[in-house]
A and B are shown apart, each in its own frame.
Chain A
Amino acid sequence: MTTIQTPLQVFLADDDEDDRTFFSEAIEDIKMKNKLKLFNDGRDLMDYLFNADAILPHILFLDLNMPYKNGLDCLKEIRANDRFKDVSIAIYSTSSSDEDIENTFIEGANIYIKKPNDFSELKKVIKGVFNMNWQFHLSGLNKETFFFSI
């Protein structure tokens, strides 16, 4: 599943249409082999994931503030299910409040990304996350490296 040959499966769950557009445009621009799947909210995402023959993502970008089911709830549900144990979760939110960072860290998110204000920065962030040595990042997971900065 983590072999490099298969295209990187990337999921984004974000209720904001503009953000989804920015994200897919940025991914296109960085020209890395990947397959992006977009979800409009948490409920959409979970409905898909609990489908038995669903393709699971390598990296899931998860917005926190979403209708129907927010990012934190999705995070909890995913981490509660052993089927998704290989899914890396990157929180992708406007907020950078200590409370949100703390909560998502505790619930088992792998990295926390504050949505950038600049498109080129967004591209850098995505590139950085894609190129991340997840194995290393997971083993050395701590609160200091949790909050992603370029």
Chain B
Amino acid sequence: MKFLGLYKNTQIFKIALIVAIIVIGYIAKVFYTQMQKLDDSVELIANSNKTQYELEKLLSIMGNYEMNLRNYIITKDESYLEDRFSNRGEIEGCLQNLRRIAATNPIKIKDVDSLNNLIDYRFKLFRDLLTIQKSKQKNNPELYVKLLESSVCTETMHTFVYKRINAEIDKIKKYDISHQFELNDSIISAFLLVMLSFSILLLSFNKMNIDINELKKTNDELKFTNLSFKSAEEIAGFGHWKFNLDTNKFTFSDNYYRLMGLEPNTFEPNLESATKFLHPDDFKQAIETHKQSLIDHKPTSTMLRYVLVDGSVKYIMTVGSFTKNSSGNFIKIGINYDITAQYKKTLEIEENNKQLKDINAELEAFNNIVSHDLQEPLRKIQMFISRLEENEFELLTENGKDYFTKIRSSANKMQILLIDLLDYSTVAKGDKVLVKLNLNDLVEQCIHEMSLSIEERKGEVKVKDLPEIFGIGFQLERLFVNLISNSLKYSKENSTPKIVIKSDKNFIKEKCNDKVYSSKEYHKIVVVDNGIGFKQEYADKIFLLFKRLETESKYTGTGIGLAICKKIVENHNGCIMVKSKVNVGTKFSIFFPK
């Protein structure tokens, strides 16, 4: 794994390659030195051989000369002496050769010199012998002495020469052995190094191949990415542009041109062409934003209008930010995207919102009219009724008194109706600021407020384990007041009204108005009474505005109370439903988010 890791590292291979090249250079140098040494050895051997040859030649000439002299002494034939001078010349030639071979070697020069001396001495002996022989004295004893001397000298010369020759042979042998050894050594090391270098080269080559393949793959992927980016731009309606702050050059993507309604590369990318299609009103701001960003290098985000060639207006969001490219140049990269559709939609929504607000304002004005302006004449009617009642009531006939009472109760009913309507509209308009509330305290407060009417009906209201919820205080009070008064109102005449307000402990999951509420997210609170109840089939109707089930005059009501309750629960993102049985009672269930 580690090796693979190294293998994948191009840097390591670069180093290995450099090492291989150095090794090869070293091998070449070693080889050159080795060859030079070989050359020297060969020359040395040649010299040695030549020296041997010259020495042997010298000996043979000397031998020949001696033999001729002996022959002359015995035969007295002058012809044996004919070669005398030519031999001497050849010997000189040999000596000169030996000197040349010895070159600057002082020992060899000394050897040659001593050989020369020996030869000179020998020739002197020759000459002496020849002189004695030519003197014609018979059996001269001096001749024998000289002959003996010459034999000794020849022997000495032989010994000297052979010693030299043997020395040369020894030297060659030694050279040969060490040379052989060095050669073997360098061949093995060279071979090993070559193999090593070769394998490194092979590995490098392979690695290079892999790298190139990878590069190719990366390149292909890059090409593909580029292509997909281009099509992504086209599909998403994006275009991008770049501005190199160091070279002052702009680059526009293909889709940048398309966003302008043009074919790619229709115009030269520069600041002038980039702003050419800008809406005249946006031109100044666009240029200023761009220039400012070039100073402070802060990202920009601007919505600009472009007027296309066909005259249509496009809303383009352009965002830009700064970065550095691989050459270290500062680049502003921007994305343009077409938000015409969204912008138009936003405008439309804004327009709708405005209309809605207008309608709401109208509704509110209508509510004001209903609740305030209608109250004004009603109040006067009631005022006059009270005036009449005080002063003129007794003057009326019985019939008149009856009508008068009906007028008064109708006026009072209308007043209640108007007040309820006003309440409903305030609840419906309700600002939603939810705060954490303890329902136990809140409901107790409601009961306290209603204590008079509860006592009047001799009712009992029980509160049990209510949770804390997030809600609007006065609305929740209104809700429970309405529910309690509703229960009191529709209680049975001959029994004590009993009302229980508690949270439902067995609640896990329940459906209310087609939505499922679970105990994980909701509290369930029930308000149960033992009142007159109603048929379950009317359950949905009781929450509707102005819907009343009981039309008998003893059950007074405006048909707004429960509608207000429903509105309040909806304001709290909850749900209210009712279950009832005639003559048994009614159970309201309310779900509040936790």
Contact = CB atoms under 8 A, between A and B. Distances in A.
Interface of A: 18-19, 22, 94-95, 97, 115-122
Contacts, number: 31
Contacts of B383: 18, 22, 116-119, 122
Given A22-B383, A94-B375, A94-B379, A117 B415 contact: yes
Question: What is the size category of the interface that chain B forms with chain A?
Answer: 10 to 19
A116 B372 CA distance: 14
* B375, B386, B390 interface centre (most CB from chain A within 10 Å): B386
25 contacts: A18-B380, A18-B383, A19-B380, A22-B383, A94-B375, A94-B376, A94-B379, A95-B372, A115-B379, A116-B379, A116-B383, A117-B378, A117-B382, A117-B383, A117-B386, A117-B415, A118-B382, A118-B383, A118-B386, A119-B383, A119-B386, A119-B390, A120-B390, A121-B386, A122-B383
A37 B120 CA distance: 181
Given A119-B390, A120-B390, A94 B372 contact: yes
Contact of A119 (B372, B375, B387): B387
Interface in B362-379: 372, 375-376, 378-379
Nearest to B419: A96
Given A18-B380, A94-B379, A120 B386 contact: yes
Interface of B: 372, 375-376, 378-380, 382-383, 386-387, 390, 415
Contacts of A18: 380, 383
Contacts of A19: 380
A115 B372 CA distance: 12
A122 B378 CA distance: 15
Nearest to B382: A117
A40 B382 CA distance: 23
* B376, B378, B415 interface centre (most CB from chain A within 10 Å): B376
B381 to A, nearest CB: 9
A14 B227 CA distance: 81
Contacts of B375: 94
B310 to A, nearest CB: 53
A105 B379 CA distance: 24
Nearest to A97: B372
Given A18-B380, A19-B380, A22-B387, 19 more contacts: A18-B383, A94-B375, A94-B376, A94-B379, A95-B372, A97-B372, A115-B379, A116-B383, A117-B378, A117-B379, A117-B382, A117-B383, A117-B415, A118-B386, A119-B383, A119-B386, A120-B386, A120-B390, A121-B386
Contacts of A121: 386
Contacts of A95: 372
* A95, A118, A121 interface centre (most CB from chain B within 10 Å): A118
Contacts of A117: 378-379, 382-383, 386, 415
A18 B383 CA distance: 10
A21 B378 CA distance: 17
Contacts of B380: 18-19
A93 to B, nearest CB: 10
B420 to A, nearest CB: 15
Nearest to A119: B386
A49 B376 CA distance: 28
Nearest to A18: B380
Nearest to B372: A95
Contacts of A116: 379, 383
A117 B387 CA distance: 11
- Counting from the closest, the 8 A-B pairs by CB-CB distance are A117-B382, A119-B386, A118-B386, A117-B379, A94-B376, A119-B387, A18-B380, A95-B372
Contacts of B379: 94, 115-117
A119 B392 CA distance: 14
A121 B385 CA distance: 13
Contacts of B376: 94
Contacts of B386: 117-121
A88 to B, nearest CB: 24
Contacts of A97: 372
A7 B249 CA distance: 93
A19 B377 CA distance: 11
B387 to A, nearest CB: 5
Contacts of A122: 383
Contacts of B382: 117-118
A122 B372 CA distance: 19
A118 B415 CA distance: 12
A99 B215 CA distance: 76
* A19, A97, A119, A120 interface centre (most CB from chain B within 10 Å): A119
A19 B378 CA distance: 13
B532 to A, nearest CB: 31
Contacts of A94: 372, 375-376, 379
Nearest to A118: B386
Nearest to B391: A119
Contacts of B387: 22, 119
A148 to B, nearest CB: 16
A19 B379 CA distance: 10
Nearest to A25: B387
Contacts of A118: 382-383, 386
Nearest to B388: A119
A1 to B, nearest CB: 33
A125 to B, nearest CB: 13
